[in-house]
Amino acid sequence: MKGKYYNCEDWDFSKAYCDADEWRDKPLRHRYMHGGIEGSELKFSFYFPPKELYKRRFYHFVAPAQGSENASQTAHGEDDKIAFALSHGAYFVESNMGGADASGEDLLRNNAAAARYSRMAAEKVYGAHRPYGYIYGGSGGSLKTCACFENTDGIWDGAVPFVIASPMAIPSAFTVRAHAYRLIRNKLAQIIDAVEPGGSGDIYAGLNAEEREALEEATRMGFPVRTWFAHYFMGDGALPVLTPMLYAADPAYYKDFWNVEGYLGADPQSSASRERIMFTTKLKAIHIPERILPEEFKRTGVDDAWHIFDNIDRFAAPPTLELEDAPKGEALYLRGTDIYFIDGAAAGHRLPLSALEGKRVTIGETFGVGTSGQPSLYSLLSSLKPGDGLRLDNSDYLALQTFHRHQVPKEDYPGWRQFTDAEGRPRYPQRPIIGPQIAFHGSGGIQNGHFTGKMIVLACLMDESAFPCMADWYRGKVRENLGEKTDGSFRLWYMDNAMHAETAGAEARLHVVDYIGALQQALLDIAEWVENGVAPPESTNYAVKDAQVIVPAEAAGRAGIQPVVSLRADGGGRACVPAGRPVVLSGRISAPNGVGRIIYGEWDLEGRGDFGTAAELRFVNSDKTVAETEITHVFGKPGTYFPVLRAASNRDENDGFTLVKNLARVRVVVS
């Protein structure tokens, strides 16, 4: 790379090839081109709308993990990125970014080359012109988006990084929540109840000193307290794919953790020491299911794209091992346990345990297996023999859970202040900081806030992986660069009641909404800002306290682009009624100025997740930005219910790609 800016001077685009150029009718009528650059691993796909619909722009999507240049073809509905671009007059760009092995500056170079060559292809389709270009990506893709936008000039005109991470996010955002989960796992029900509507609000009530310390640590690092409801499905996020990388970066850490003063494991009375498992036994039998043919990996979601690095052989069911003996106890902490083979043909190798039932263990996700000259999972399993010795061991996983304590950055990251004394000195032994190295490896740059053009950042207030305070950290870097001119080029919009993933799965939709519509509205707004000078809605107003992002309760004070929904039961945040007595549920929906009208409201009254009852809206003002709704419902059986009112606003009521959603919950206790 030459200096700050990279402009593709070293690419020979005369070596570009096109192996597909055809008109397609799905998802919408478009001209599809596929190709690459000879002498490189770069491949790309372009999707051009008909000339009469073209608005001289392109949207360039970068996934968290580089993989297939055709991955977005699998999307559908509101999340169909190709259909969104085509229906809004833009051509769509996606590349493999050089393939799964590409890293560092090569990712930046490959993304820049794909964008630059797309303009050459666009000239062939539409004639001589310069299309405006907008790059966007979430999670690890947000790091790629920032790296590309900050280190190029003239490639892209605008950027929309979403669920944005900081250079210190990996692995700390995952380790701190893993540590807290281990300590509070038996108290999560009462913690969740405290932050639900009508709860006490005291998340620390009833916790012992260790549990309180762990919960405080995660909270002061920025983990959103309301998100603990999702503990049963969010797991460890991307931590499994990071583990081999972390071990290679600092293998001595895992020994020091158990032996050097200042590390949690060195204290024999610590929770880590108490929950450590080191159980030696022998194999009795190996069960290898039928193998199935691997399918091309085509996931681009911020919560699943990293599975591209899962090198597990594909089986019809997970492989299992039967042991001669197994550890016993109802409170065994098996999460993160590894199976170490200590003799036989597989000696020196290990596999992750995902479950232990009696004396049978199930093999889990095997990131790193089959790479760097290591045997494949099938080969490793096939080499096992009855009588081989093995050890069940969770030592490394326990050590990893407090890795963030030993990674205090010199730069001010609010979450790490808790690990320093009054003079700012670290209270724990320190290791070489590896977060920025991983960030650079996975993106090609380290965020610095220096860019030309326009940027809109979309962040979520219940993000379990890229904590909300990380977006505020990046906004601070932009302010260091732009100063008083920040608002002329930058926006930060927070989405309430939204998590890391773009879509809200069935297990979460009673608590959170998806943010796809807001993201796609941001893409339209960035184009209007760049091309026509139309400034988008103002940034969300918020405050940061102990790394927790707090927003005003009312839409007018909150700003941003998301409507605010409030809900009451019999006039309060909690109603207690006997079974069979009617309850009046009253909701209010209000949208900030300039972000469109309220489009709909819908009810889920008893936790079914179907939102099958439409809300009757009574608009308070003529521009339909404030609406009230009311419904009377009878709960026939005793229990605790959380009725939900979900609503959406939109600039264009006919545009299904730009619905901006929110919800509210209320507690009803039926006796």
Pairing of strands 667-670, 639-641: antiparallel
**Contact 560/494 with Cβ under 8 angstroms?**
yes
Read off the tokens for 71: 């991955």
In the listed set 376, 393, 410, which residue is the last one of a domain according to the structure?
393
Residues 36 and 159 in one domain: yes
Q: Which domain holds residue 359?
A: 277-294+305-393
- CATH code of the domain covering residue 570: 2.60.40.650
Residues 567 and 518 in one domain: no
Q: Is residue 197 part of a domain?
A: no
Distance CA 185, CA 149 (A): 41
Q: Is residue 215 part of a domain?
A: no
Identify the pLDDT of residue 2: 38
- CATH code of the domain covering residue 84: 3.40.50.1820
Q: Strand 574-577's sheet: what is its strand order?
A: 574-577, 667-670, 639-641
Identify the pLDDT of residue 302: 63
Read off the tokens for 239: 């931590």
Distance CA 309, CA 516 (A): 25
Identify the pLDDT of residue 315: 81
Read off the tokens for 470: 């990380």
Dmax over CA atoms of the chain, in Å, equals: 78
Number of structural domains (the chain) is 3
Distance CA 310, CA 313 (A): 9
Residues 125 and 73 in one domain: yes
In the listed set 359, 393, 427, which residue is the last one of a domain according to the structure?
393
Q: What angle do CA 112, 451, 519 make, to 5 degrees?
A: 75
Residues 22 and 132 in one domain: yes
In the listed set 478, 513, 532, which residue is the last one of a domain according to the structure?
532
Mean pLDDT, 10 residues at a time, the chain of 671 residues: 57 91 97 96 97 98 88 91 98 94 91 95 97 97 96 95 95 96 97 96 96 98 97 85 85 96 97 96 95 62 56 78 93 92 93 93 70 75 96 95 96 90 95 94 94 97 97 97 96 97 85 97 98 98 96 96 98 95 98 94 93 96 96 96 97 95 97 95
Distance CA 426, CA 159 (A): 36
Q: What 3-state DSSP class applies to 537?
A: coil
Q: Is residue 572 part of a domain?
A: yes
Distance CA 277, CA 395 (A): 7
Identify the pLDDT of residue 410: 87
- CATH code of the domain covering residue 351: 2.40.10
264: CB partners within 8 A, 6+ apart? 257, 270, 271, 272, 402, 405
Residues 284 and 381 in one domain: yes
Q: Is residue 315 part of a domain?
A: yes
Give the Cβ contact number of residue 413 at 10 Å: 22
Q: Is residue 517 part of a domain?
A: yes
Q: Is residue 408 part of a domain?
A: no
Q: Is residue 212 part of a domain?
A: no
Residues 345 and 456 in one domain: no
222: left (phi over 0), alpha (psi -120 to 50) or beta: left
Residues 386 and 504 in one domain: no
Read off the tokens for 286: 């190996």
Residues 374 and 286 in one domain: yes
Q: Is residue 410 part of a domain?
A: no
Distance CA 582, CA 588 (A): 20
Residues 612 and 480 in one domain: no
Give the Cβ contact number of residue 442 at 10 Å: 23
**Contact 577/570 with Cβ under 8 angstroms?**
yes
Q: What is the DSSP letter of 409?
A: -
634: CB partners within 8 A, 6+ apart? 580, 581, 582, 583
Residues 333 and 442 in one domain: no
Residues 25 and 164 in one domain: yes
Residues 30 and 84 in one domain: yes
- Tell which residue, 220, 208, 137, has the closest CA to residue 172: 220
Read off the tokens for 54: 């073209």
